[in-house]
Chain A
Amino acid sequence: MSIDRSTLERGGIDFDEFLDRVLNNEAIARQVLSVFMSDGTLDELRGAVEREDVSSARQAAHKLKGMGGSLSAHAIAELAQAELDALHASDLDRAAEVCRELELSCARLKEAISQAL
């Protein structure tokens, strides 16, 4: 069964670019999406921001940016970059705000992936 393109696109994935990155191999695409589904980096980020642990927060934000890029989930990659910028500027209020936006985007993507697979 092929992956449902429109559901993933609604979740924020640039489907063509993503499929191109895995050389149109759907098995690999599923594998990668499944990894994202069970990934706990967002929780790490939220915890670190709450603890005001900037260093751990940056690591988590960096990881999220990488995953967003790999999945061609551009909004997530951009928000993760905004989070890195806020952390770099030690603006923790802004970091908490961006973290909430990231949570919304990730939740929307996870919902879409669970429907698409």
Chain B
Amino acid sequence: MVQWTTWLWMGELMEASRRTSFDFLDIVADDPRSLLICDDDVINRTILSNLFSDTFSITETQDGDECLMAVLSSPDAWAGILLDYQMERMDGLEVLRRLHRRGLTERIPVFLISAEATMEVVREAYQLGCMDVIEKPVVPFVVRRRVLSVAELFTARRRLSQTVLVQQNELIRRATEILKLNRGMIEALSQAIEFRNGESGAHVRRIHDITGILLRGTPLGDGLSEEDVEIISVAAIMHDVGKIAIPDAILGKPGKLTPEEFEIMKSHTVLGAQLLEDIPQLHSNDSYRYAVDIARHHHERWDGSGYPDGLRGDELSSWVQAVSIADVYDALRSERVYKPAYSREKALQMIVEGACGVFNPKLIETFNMVEPEVSLLYGTTRDGGLS
């Protein structure tokens, strides 16, 4: 079993890494390859275009409005913006302010180009997210190196964050699959044990559902989140795992058990908790601490007459009480080797009268409240009783 799951895991890892590298190549093809030049001086635009025409596809704009329009109409197209500081209408600093306000200076590297920027201008430009201030007249090898280095940095950063996103999604997908696999294995184990009991596996599924109904939207579930309720409902599935250690002759006996046989039968609670404690991999599962509590204590009763520890009253956790009453109700409503399936009314009457042990009166009240919803679980299942 361990080897099989390890192979499965390694196979998934290899598959995931293949997918990830494929996605990475896709992203490279999406890198922005356009450079936006904004300058009201045609000579300077021509010189800058010529400097970068071998690396980028160039778009020239001659004032701030045109530049903003180009950026806003396709914000992901630009590998960089070369922005003249002194322009007749809207100056470069104002363009920079508007880009900054929209968070665009974080996504697109902007270079302010100026012949006479004062320290104040340079400071404000940097504060607005400008990546570099380049002096005019431009010196080709300087401006090329400065622009290309920063553009590459932005591209690498963008690729990295997209790769991280792809990998993060992959991790979430795998974690979800592992959760489903865990849940599946828990259900498979519990159902296998139920099959030995001569039952169909529907019992554990119903205990899961009834526990959820009881803890969701009633005072019994106060203080539990929706996530807690689902975790507890999964834990409830494992309430009878200890029955794996009970001999067939006792488990399947149609008549009344002898006192010795009953003692052995009762041990499924302690053995169940022990079995769960002995699986180290289960300890990190969110359901674990509930599962151990439920397996050990689901036959305890409100008045202390239950087993194995004789807990009473508030010593019983709300989830243990929920699973206990769910277990009894389901046993009453289902056909067993030693009894027929009882009707809703009879089952409820037997619970109220304490035929299966004493329950917290408030718990019975709560159960009565949700019982109509619970009874719907029995209409169509083949081992369900008459409603």
Contacts and interface: CB of A to CB of B under 8 A. Distances in A.
A63 B41 contact: yes
Interface string B123-139: 00000000000001111
Interface in A60-102: 62-63, 65-67, 69-72, 77, 84
B360 interface: no
A59 B88 contact: yes
B160 interface: no
Interface string B32-61: 000000000111101100110000000000
B145 to A, nearest CB: 14
B137 A21 contact: yes
A31 B44 CA distance: 12
A58 to B, nearest CB: 10
A67 to B, nearest CB: 6
A25 B44 CA distance: 15
Nearest to A59: B88
Residue of B46, B47, B136 with most partner-chain A CB within 10 A: B47
A107 interface: no
Given A32-B43, A32-B46, A70 B136 contact: yes
Interface string A35-79: 110000000000000000000000100110111011110000100
A67 B51 contact: no
A32 B136 contact: no
Contacts, number: 52
B47 A69 contact: no
Chain A's interface: helix, strand, loop or mixed, by majority? helix
A1 interface: no
A32 B49 CA distance: 12
Given A28-B47, A32-B47, A69 B137 contact: yes
Interface in B48-90: 50-51, 86, 88
Interface residues of B, number: 17
B47 A21 contact: yes
B136 A69 contact: yes
B182 to A, nearest CB: 63
A23 B51 contact: yes
Residue of A21, A25, A36, A72 with most partner-chain B CB within 10 A: A21
B89 to A, nearest CB: 11
B352 to A, nearest CB: 95
Nearest to B88: A59
Contacts of A69: 115, 136-137
A19 B46 CA distance: 13
A23 B43 CA distance: 14
A28 B86 contact: no
A104 interface: no
Contacts of A23: 50-51, 140
A23 B52 CA distance: 10
Nearest to A28: B50
A117 interface: no
B46 A31 contact: yes
Nearest to A71: B43
Contacts of A31: 46
A25 B136 contact: no
Interface in B103-147: 115-116, 136-140
Contacts of B136: 66, 69-70
Interface in B134-181: 136-140
A89 B133 CA distance: 27
B41 A67 contact: yes
B94 to A, nearest CB: 16
Interface of A: 20-23, 25, 28, 31-32, 35-36, 59, 62-63, 65-67, 69-72, 77, 84
16 contacts: A21-B138, A22-B47, A22-B50, A23-B50, A32-B46, A32-B47, A35-B46, A66-B41, A66-B115, A66-B137, A67-B43, A69-B115, A69-B137, A70-B136, A70-B137, A70-B138
